[in-house]
Amino acid sequence: MALFSERYGYTKASDVIIREKITPEIQNAICSCYDKLPDLFNEVIAYYQDAKTEYKNLEEYLWVYFLNERAANFSDGYQYHVVATVYIEDKSNAWYKKLDIIEKTIQYLRNFDAKNHKFYPVASNFIKLLNSAFERLNFAYRIINDEIVEITSEQEIKTIETAIENSARNIKMHLNRALELYAQRPDGDYRNSIKESISAVEAFCREKTGENTLGKALNKLEKNGIVFPDVLKHAFDKLYAYTNQPDAGIRHALMDDTGVYTPKAEEAIFMLVSCSAFINYLNKKA
């Protein structure tokens, strides 16, 4: 028999959007990016053995300038200390220190590119690998301008969870489904995640006013004495209109096989947070 959470599709946003920790999946993905660095060096260095030597130089740099160990102890002439992946896989190291070693790695690679191969940026390719993995695994961080920055805050996650917790079952199911589609593996179904997010708002409107569209529902609430700032009302009307654009295929069939526009992860999480926040706002207003 399916458990309660499986029957009702309940998923916590904090379990889907990973922040302030590194899961085993994210850890493996980061280490895989390091595993590919010799190949990235090989794209600009003719001989693979020389590319492996350059990767060894990176490891020595991290040994001396990140771990602050003695350079003489890095190698015994036959074997050298593997720093990056060993450090990342060490459970005793804090999650944020593991992100620090990534930034230190990028600093080294930028200096390497500047001195040697400006037109074949190893750093940029390494960053692309990491950001792709972070997006795929819903890690709440991205590398922007060579620094790791948070893209989804604790408050945004709390906004989603509050909307789910305080909503009726039908609204809750739409928000849960939006989360599940966003987190779907190997690729998120972002178009339908957006559809479920806006459907949660529509379900809320039907529950409170009996109206099927957002505009009619807000007008009815205003007639009942609930005042909305005009700019805020107009802004959400525009956001609602976005989900009805035929070329995005969110609420309608796509115009062609590929679609003129394909929503991405950043739009899906923006809509999930925005719709959750709007539901929370309406709950307080109504």
**CB-count burial class (<10 Å; 0-12, 13-18, 19+) for 133:** middle
**What is the rounded CA–CA span in Å between residue 201 and residue 278?**
8
Count CB atoms within 10 A of the CB of residue 230. 8
**What is the rounded CA–CA span in Å between residue 161 and residue 176?**
9
Average model confidence (pLDDT) across the chain = 85
**CB-count burial class (<10 Å; 0-12, 13-18, 19+) for 157:** buried
Give the residue from 216, 217, 191, 208 showing the smallest Cα distance to 272. Answer: 191
**Residues near 278 by beta carbon (within 8 Å), at least 6 away in sequence:** 201, 236
Reported as a pLDDT band with limits 50, 70 and 90, residue 2 is: very low
What is the average pLDDT across 74-99? 94
pLDDT of 4 > 70? The answer is: no
**What is the rounded CA–CA span in Å between residue 212 and residue 207?**
9
Q: In this predicted structure, which of 105-114, 124-133, 153-162 has the lowest mean pLDDT?
A: 153-162
Reported as a pLDDT band with limits 50, 70 and 90, residue 253 is: very low
**What is the rounded CA–CA span in Å between residue 210 and residue 216?**
9
b or e along 174-206 (b: 16 or more beta carbons within 10 Å of the residue's beta carbon)? Answer: bbbbbbbbbbeeeebbbbbbbbbbbbbbbbbbe
Q: Name, of 7-11, 60-64, 237-241, the range with top average pLDDT.
A: 60-64
| CB-CB contact of 239 with 262 (8 Å) | no
Give the CA angle between residues 211, 215, 219 to the nearest 5°: 80
**What is the rounded CA–CA span in Å between residue 58 and residue 238?**
49
Q: How far is CA 250 from CA 117, 193, 268, in A?
A: 43, 9, 11
Collapsing DSSP to helix, strand or coil, 162 comes out as: helix
| CB-CB contact of 183 with 16 (8 Å) | yes
Reported as a pLDDT band with limits 50, 70 and 90, residue 285 is: confident
Model confidence pLDDT, tens digit, residues 137-164:
989 899 988 999 888 888 888 999 899 8
Model confidence pLDDT, tens digit, residues 189-237:
888 999 999 889 889 888 888 887 778 888 888 888 888 888 888 888 8
b or e along 21-46 (b: 16 or more beta carbons within 10 Å of the residue's beta carbon)? Answer: ebeeebbbbbeebbeebbebbbebbe
